[in-house]
A and B are shown apart, each in its own frame.
Chain A
């Protein structure tokens, strides 16, 4: 049996989660202390991939990165294209998992007592240092939960990936896509193996998340925060 879908899925999800973690944190940090219609509109755009059907997201990405799309044209000038390549699986997984990261990171940062940030300011700390040494450590449990949810979402991505990256065995064929085409080709046994792999990974991830948040709750109680 060809195990490449497992490797492709893991590599894609890890890469997408790494991008989403940095981008989601940056967006959440930027969104703090901002209010108004403009910020609310940007909120909507950030969260859109969560509510749109993955096929719509995939189609929009195809328009963006296709031969005649603005980003596609730009990439073409550097002699490259992402459609139907491995980076396309990462782009699709990143876009659909970003809202989960953004929402959880924002909620976690908002829960940090603003007086702590103000105290840090009166003690001479720069905003970057306050984010790194006060806000982030205190918001970390939420940020980690968002990371795991994003990874799980990236791992399960199907629709947008199929539209942007297609199904190229050994290159863009992730586990969900492998399952779809196995069923289509009536290879029920192969589909069941991949289902079992997917369910196992998800159970380990979500179980780990549950266990970890529980441990965090105990640690927070030690800090005196509830």
Chain B
């Protein structure tokens, strides 16, 4: 079960130029809005025609520019979940699900519909119209409709973006359950990095139509290959950097010298650390003699229900001018323990948490 995609398509501001291969593990496609994510899915589904390239699903050629092959969407057997679900408003849940089963005998249509209804927990809602359903139920109906045709691949376009926050967890669980049994290529497009991480095994980061990173998600989050990917995967602290001959790095934007775990590559241009990896040392003796410990002054804070973001400056003059160098994120319990202590606070940028990037 393999979906292989290698396509080019000219868009208004840039060219979508993407190559990747998806197997049984779900693949998250992460990118800012307008990065070409939806267009990529639409090309795979056959709703848009790529400028050139090749798309194969298992041993079927869906599109081949050089051979002038372009299988129409209706023959691709690819299930697609649209951002706003695109349920047929004049058809009930059961009629929506059975829409793609038109050519099957009547009893098989009912059997298949019943099977996906139970798998997507829609029992009892079969006779409702889409507008009589909650957002989560509409989403499950759209998923059931796509699964009913027993597709060879599944494409999901921002499946959670139209839902209220409190419904997302529930729908995510449904999607995870679906992926676990689907065992065929499943692509999920999102601009939310946490969603991308939770739902995908593999991750593809798309930036202005190009693949900025592609691989196992842990790998990409632990060590983003570029500052662009670091930013797209939620890294708040990125500085221009210059390697020193002694194996340390000069962080130009933070105005400090850092020691990473490994000798940094000569091509290193950026250094980054995630906000929750910044350590606050609570006693003076703690970690004495360790590298990358700096005094810091607080510029401002921003609270969420359980965590607090601290905007820090590594020199008092800049702190006074209101210009932070770093963002750190800590749980409020920890924050309560040191918030009243005199500044500067000592922060530690642990070498194992730092990542150097060539561009």
Contact = CB atoms under 8 A, between A and B. Distances in A.
Given A116-B86, A138-B90, A223-B89, A122 B80 contact: yes
Contacts of A133: 99
A123 B47 contact: no
A225 interface: yes
Given A118-B47, A223-B130, A224-B130, A125 B89 contact: no
Given A115-B84, A138-B89, A225-B89, A122 B130 contact: no
B86 A123 contact: no
Contacts of A224: 89, 129-131
B341 interface: no
Nearest to A125: B74
A122 B73 contact: yes
B45 interface: yes
Nearest to A221: B131
A217 interface: no
A123 B99 contact: yes
Given A137-B90, A224-B89, A120 B99 contact: yes
Contacts of A123: 74, 99-100, 145-146, 149
A126 interface: yes
Interface string A111-146: 001011011111111100100011001100000000
B102 A125 contact: yes
A124 B89 contact: no
A222 interface: yes
A16 B72 CA distance: 38
Chain A interface main SS type: helix
Interface string B271-299: 00000000000000000000000000000
A116 B75 CA distance: 17
A138 B72 CA distance: 24
Contacts of B159: none
A121 B149 contact: no
Nearest to A115: B86
Contacts of A115: 82, 84, 86
In this complex, which of B46, B129, B131 has the most chain A Cβ atoms within 10 angstroms of its Cβ? B131
A226 to B, nearest CB: 10
A118 B74 contact: no
A129 B90 contact: no
Nearest to A117: B86
Interface in B56-93: 72-80, 82, 84, 86, 88-90
A118 B86 contact: yes
Contact of B86 (A113, A125, A223): A113
B73 A129 contact: no
How many of chain A's residues touch chain B, expressed as a range? 20 to 34
Contacts of B145: 119, 123
Contact of A223 (B47, B82, B90, B100): B90
B79 to A, nearest CB: 7
A119 B131 contact: no
Interface in B119-149: 129-131, 145-146, 149
B166 to A, nearest CB: 21
B76 A122 contact: yes
Contact of A122 (B74, B103, B129, B131): B74
Nearest to B131: A224
Contacts of B146: 122-123
B75 A119 contact: no
A72 B27 CA distance: 66
A124 B47 contact: no
A121 B89 contact: no
Given A120-B99, A121-B46, A125-B102, A222 B129 contact: yes
A212 B188 CA distance: 43
Nearest to A116: B86
Contact of A124 (B84, B88, B102, B131): B102
Nearest to B155: A122
A134 B88 contact: yes
A118 B129 contact: no
Nearest to A220: B89
A124 B82 contact: no
A224 B146 CA distance: 21
Nearest to B84: A115
Given A124-B75, A125-B102, A224-B89, A119 B129 contact: no
Contacts of B76: 122
Residue among B75, B76, B86, B129 with the highest chain A CB neighbour number at 10 A: B86
6 contacts: A119-B82, A120-B88, A122-B74, A123-B99, A224-B89, A225-B131
Given A119-B88, A134-B88, 20 more contacts: A115-B84, A115-B86, A116-B86, A118-B73, A118-B80, A118-B82, A120-B99, A122-B73, A122-B74, A122-B76, A122-B80, A122-B146, A123-B145, A123-B149, A125-B99, A126-B74, A129-B102, A133-B99, A222-B129, A222-B131
Interface of A: 113, 115-116, 118-126, 129, 133-134, 137-138, 222-225
- In the A-B complex, list the 10 residue pairs whose CB atoms are closest, starting with the nearest: A224-B131, A123-B100, A223-B89, A119-B86, A115-B86, A121-B73, A122-B80, A124-B74, A137-B90, A118-B47
